[in-house]
Copies of this chain bind each other. A is one copy, B any other.
Amino acid sequence: MSKSIFYHAGCPVCVSAEHDIIDLVGSDNVDIVNIGEDRNRIADAEAAGVQSVPALVTPNGNTLHLNFGASIEDVKG
């Protein structure tokens, strides 16, 4: 894959980081996934090593946790 994936859950920290990431890498280079709404993607996020949101999974599969909005466990509820 060549795009990064930005996982978030709609929290204020998430939205702020989303704007920063789009500014930095360009909206064409990142897929935005709200795992609070698109709950069948939670498993994808966990498989990629996402422990909290917001997080960016890079094209080479590394996960960068950006600040802290909510844990995956909190999103799962």
Contacts and interface: CB of A to CB of B under 8 A. Distances in A.
A24 B58 contact: yes
Nearest to A63: B67
A4 B25 CA distance: 12
A24 B24 contact: yes
Contact of A20 (B29, B58, B67, B68): B58
Range for the number of chain A residues in contact with chain B: 10 to 19
A28 interface: no
A16 interface: yes
Interface of A: 4, 16-17, 20, 23-25, 29, 56, 58-60, 62-68
10 contacts: A17-B64, A20-B58, A23-B58, A23-B60, A24-B25, A25-B25, A64-B67, A65-B67, A65-B68, A66-B66
